């Protein structure tokens, strides 16, 4: 891995893009029910008759699209936040987003309150989604506000995020304590993160989230590179660290909020994907971002395939699988000991 030429990196990214395509086919072919591959293919080209055709087209295809899109979005958001905070262990969730989203869902599921009056307050899933989104947005605003008061430095963002995370986490624990059995179970399943809930509207929202993240991140890719050498150097290179951090945080957090509202707080993808991408392709964000997107897409889709097949005919929430990736990943980091991180 030595040649720093743009061409080689570009080629690598293009090559890697083949992976999500492969995974698309794997994901629609596999599931809690066995469907022969030829039936899958015929369903994909429009022959949707019969139960199997319906399952492939109406259930697996949207779900696969969701996992591909959400995985990419989460990975990009993670990459951007890591660059903005100069912290390879940062993710939108360390900004308190998953705690806020969980709290919103807990409000809907356990207390039965929908914050913005859309739909029936007791159509639990829909209420949980909108609440999760609203609370996440509130959390971002509070965190960036707090950070802004202290100069919008990486440290202030991280500290603000941790504070908000603890706040919402405590509130959620309290609600869980009060909850009845059924509500508790529904909430816990929600909080694990699950792709099952995504319907076509949800899929559109996920695509919107991806577009926001992709467009923003590529636009500020050079600024993110500049930030890696410190705020002062970045300023001298023509980047405004405060503005970049504010806009970057708001946009990625907003996009993450959209994702979390649809699939729950799925962890680790935003943390691991940029890491792996950087290991493969260097620290230039113009390449890290697309590469991380591809890795995130693949990770989440693989996890979802696992979620749907490991315990057939039951489907496990995908968050359980991604969490299982987490431990070996971090242990691996530890063992390989990239000195830089620990210095």
Partner 1 sequence: MVKRAYVLTASIALIIAMACLLTIYLSSPTSTSTSTNGVGVEAGSTKYPLTIVDSDGRAMVIEKPAKRIAAQTYAVWALASLNATDLVVGTSMASFRGDPIFSQKLSKDVVDIGSFYGPGAKINVEVIASLEPDVVIAPTRFYYPESELEAKLPPSIKVIRLSFLDVKELAREIRVLGAVINKTEEAERLAEKIEALINLVSERVASTPNRPRVYLEWYSPYSTPANGTIFHELIELAGGINVFSDLKARGQGFVQVSPESVIQRAPDVIIRCAPGWMMPAYNPCIAKNESALKALYDEMKRRSGWESIPAVANNRVYVISSIYDGGYGKAVQLVLMAKLLHPELFEDVDLNELFNDLVRTMGIDRYCVGARIWVYPATS
Partner 2 sequence: MRILVEGVVVYYGAFRALDGVTVEFQQGEVTAVLGPNGSGKTTLLRTISKILRPEEGAVYVGERDLRELKEGELAKLMGYMPQGVESRFPMRVWEVVALGRKPHVAWALTPRDVQVVEEAMKLAGVERLADRYLHELSGGERQKVMLARVLAQEPKVLLLDEPTSHLDLRYQIEVLKLVRLITKERGLVTIASLHDINLALRFADKAVLMKDGLVYAIGKPEDVLTPENVVEVFNVKAALVKNPRPFIVVEDAV
- Residue the block writes with tokens 């059995």: 181
Interaction partner, residue 200 (partner 1, partner 2, none; CB < 5-8 Å by kind): partner 1
Q: Would you state the structure tokens that stand for residue 193, as one six-digit string? A: 């993160």
Q: Report the nearest approach of partner 1 to the CB of residue 320 (Å).
A: 12
Asked if 135 and 104 count as a contact pair (C-beta separation under 8 A), the reply is yes
Q: Report the nearest approach of partner 1 to the CB of residue 184 (Å).
A: 9
Q: Report the nearest approach of partner 1 to the CB of residue 343 (Å).
A: 46
Position 336 contacts partner 2 (CB under 8 A): no
C-beta of 137 vs 158, nearer to partner 2: 158
H or E element at residue 309 = helix 285-309
Binding range to partner 1, per CB under 8 A, among 19-27, 258-266, 274-282, 309-317: 309-317
Position 237 contacts partner 2 (CB under 8 A): yes
CA nearest 95: which of 176, 156, 151, 174? 156
Radius of gyration of the chain (CA): 20
Tell me how far apart the terminal alpha carbons of the chain are, to the nearest angstrom.
23
CA nearest 32: which of 280, 314, 316? 314
H or E element at residue 147 = helix 124-149
C-beta of 10 vs 50, nearer to partner 1: 50
Distance between CA atoms of residues 280 and 164, nearest Å:
34
Candidates 58, 173, 233, 243; binder of partner 1 (CB under 8 A) is: 58
Candidates 37, 166, 200, 204; binder of partner 1 (CB under 8 A) is: 200
Binding range to partner 1, per CB under 8 A, among 67-75, 194-202, 263-271, 330-338: 194-202
CA nearest 320: which of 191, 176, 165, 168? 191
Residue window 258-297: x/- pattern of binding to partner 1, with contact defined by CB under 8 A: ----------------------------------------
Distance between CA atoms of residues 144 and 247, nearest Å:
10
Position 239 contacts partner 2 (CB under 8 A): yes
Position 155 contacts partner 2 (CB under 8 A): no
Position 88 contacts partner 1 (CB under 8 A): no
H or E element at residue 244 = helix 241-263
Number of residues that bind partner 2 (CB under 8 A): 31
Asked if 78 and 293 count as a contact pair (C-beta separation under 8 A), the reply is no
**Site residues, partner 2 (CB under 8 A):** 2, 4, 6, 86-88, 221-222, 225-226, 228-230, 232-233, 235-240, 278, 282-284, 286, 338-341, 343
């Amino acid at each position: 891995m030595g040649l720093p030429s743009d061409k080689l990196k570009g080629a690598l990214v293009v090559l890697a893009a083949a992976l999500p395509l492969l995974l698309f086919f794997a994901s629609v072919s596999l599931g809690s029910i066995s469907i022969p591959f030829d039936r899958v293919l015929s369903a994909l080209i429009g022959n949707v008759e019969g139960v199997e055709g319906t399952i492939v087209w109406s259930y697996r295809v949207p779900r696969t699209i969701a996992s591909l899109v959400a995985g990419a979005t989460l990975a990009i958001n993670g990459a951007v936040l890591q660059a903005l905070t100069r912290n390879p262990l940062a993710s939108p969730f360390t900004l308190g987003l998953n705690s806020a989203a969980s709290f919103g869902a807990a409000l809907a599921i356990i207390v039965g309150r929908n914050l913005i009056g859309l739909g029936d307050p007791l159509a639990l899933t829909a209420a949980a989604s909108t609440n999760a989104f609203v609370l996440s947005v509130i959390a971002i605003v509070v965190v960036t506000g707090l950070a802004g008061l202290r100069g919008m430095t990486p440290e202030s963002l991280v500290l603000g995020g941790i504070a908000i995370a603890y706040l919402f986490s405590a509130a959620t624990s309290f609600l869980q304590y009060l909850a009845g059995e059924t509500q508790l179970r529904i909430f816990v399943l929600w909080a694990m993160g699950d792709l099952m809930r995504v319907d076509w509207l949800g899929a559109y929202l996920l695509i919107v989230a991806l577009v926001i993240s992709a467009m923003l991140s590529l636009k500020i890719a050079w600024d993110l590179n500049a930030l890696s050498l410190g705020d002062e150097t970045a300023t001298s290179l023509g980047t405004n660290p405060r503005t970049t951090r504010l806009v970057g945080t708001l946009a990625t957090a907003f996009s993450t909020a959209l994702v979390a509202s649809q699939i729950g707080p799925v962890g680790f993808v935003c943390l691991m994907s940029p890491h792996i991408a950087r290991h493969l392709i260097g620290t230039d964000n113009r390449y890290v971002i697309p590469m991380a997107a591809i890795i995130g897409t693949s990770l989440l889709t693989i996890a979802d395939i696992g979620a749907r097949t490991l315990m057939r005919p039951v489907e496990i929430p995908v968050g359980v699988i991604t969490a299982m990736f987490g431990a070996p990943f971090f242990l691996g980091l530890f063992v390989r000991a990239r000195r830089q991180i620990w210095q």
